[in-house]
Amino acid sequence: MSITLSEKKGFICDMDGVIYHGNRILDGAKDFCKWLMDNDKKFIFLTNSSERSPMELRQKLLRMGLDISEEHFYTSALATANFLKSQCPNGGTAYVIGEPGLSMALYNAGFTMNNVNPDYVVVGETRALNYEMIERATLLVQRGAKLIGTNPDLTGPAEVGMIPATRSLIAPIEMASGKSAYFLGKPNPLMMRIGLKMLGVKNEDACIVGDRMDTDIIAGVESEIDTVLVLSGCTSREDILRYPYRPSIVLNGVGDIPNS
């Protein structure tokens, strides 16, 4: 498949492994963002990370030398909160395992925290997970709480290498409770529809840029959006052969996009 990225009107971009690893900005990221703005491209950073709010993501990029306004960010925490709000329009309760970005999104969607008899157990990325949390979450799910994961990522890229992500953290709760989680975030089509709506472009005028075959690229394939796999994160060129689908284009990093 041959596509010309410079002709695309809208870009849906992942962040981890695409723009940065942890607190280290990746080569070419600044040039790519400058190209987007200089050419009046519509773009959104659609991240499966649930740890930070759009304000915090903006501040993180500012520390790396990138000035991107808040309206260009959408997270799996926001997608999770919006989904749960649609299920409980009059408000609900949740037991949350995650960072402030997730709790804040749920509060803003009308949910309150409840560790006794919540409607939902919601799990996102966190470094604070302990056995007591797993035990409580398991018992709550066994008693009827619905199990929700902010994203289905098993691992994620960091400065030190690949580290456990949400699906790894939620797995003990699934196994012990006998209940499967429902995952928001990519490749859930709800996330992709929101991204396109925020961009205001048609499928054929957009592309998704990501580093994972199992979330970013499959999300684009299933949403009929052209896909750009960058090799700066999770997926290597050899890994591509393991999947029954292919990205539209493969690049070393986002710095190659302006010339593609």
82, part of any domain = no
**Any idea what DSSP says for residue 137?**
H
The pLDDT of residue 1 is 53
Among the three residues 135, 150, 183, which one is the final residue of a domain in this structure? 183
Among the three residues 137, 161, 183, which one is the final residue of a domain in this structure? 183
Q: In degrees, to the nearest 5, what angle opens at C-alpha 62 toward C-alphas 59 and 67?
A: 110
The pLDDT of residue 159 is 74
164, part of any domain = yes
- The reply to whether 216 belongs to the active site is no
The pLDDT of residue 259 is 86
State how many domains the chain has: 2
Instruction: Give the position of tokens 């190209």.
Output: 35
Domain with 163, as residue range(s), is 89-183
Catalytic residue among 14, 216, 226, 256: 14
Among the three residues 163, 183, 203, which one is the final residue of a domain in this structure? 183
Whether residue 193 is found in the same domain as residue 228: yes
Whether residue 208 is found in the same domain as residue 146: no
Per-residue confidence of the chain (260 residues) as pLDDT tens digits? 568 898 999 999 999 999 998 889 999 999 999 999 999 999 999 999 999 999 999 999 999 999 999 999 999 999 999 999 999 999 999 999 999 999 999 999 999 999 999 999 999 999 999 999 999 999 999 999 999 999 999 988 777 878 899 999 999 999 999 999 999 999 998 998 999 999 999 999 999 999 999 999 999 999 999 999 999 988 999 999 999 999 999 999 999 999 88
- The reply to whether 16 belongs to the active site is yes
Helix residue ranges, H only, the chain:
29-38, 54-63, 76-87, 100-108, 131-142, 166-177, 189-199, 218-222
79, part of any domain = no
pTM score: 0.91
Catalytic residue among 16, 119, 211, 216: 16
Helices and strands, counts by H and E, the chain: 8, 15
